[in-house]
Amino acid sequence: MKDYIKKRLNERSTWAAIGVAVTAGAALSTPYSWIVIGAGVIGVLIPSPDKSEGEG
């Protein structure tokens, strides 16, 4: 998991998504802004489940 997060943090798309989460959170009032930022960062760093054949 540690290696996955290191690799993920080296990708530009990760930082772009974190930037979007921070920007979206900045537009909201206090408790909601932190929730949006936290959810965005967690959502970016959590590994996607592998898709089995035939899906998506």
pLDDT for residue 21: 94
pLDDT for residue 54: 52
The total domain count for the chain is 1
Structural domain range at position 33: 20-45
Domain-embedded: residue 2: no
H or E stretch at 46: none
Domain-embedded: residue 4: no
The whole-angstrom separation of Cα 33 and Cα 39 is 10
| CB 25 within 8 Å of CB 39 | no
| CB 48 within 8 Å of CB 5 | no
- Give residue-wise pLDDT tens across range 8-43: 999 999 999 999 999 999 999 999 999 999 999 999
Domain-embedded: residue 52: no
Which tops the pLDDT comparison, 23 or 51?
Answer: 23
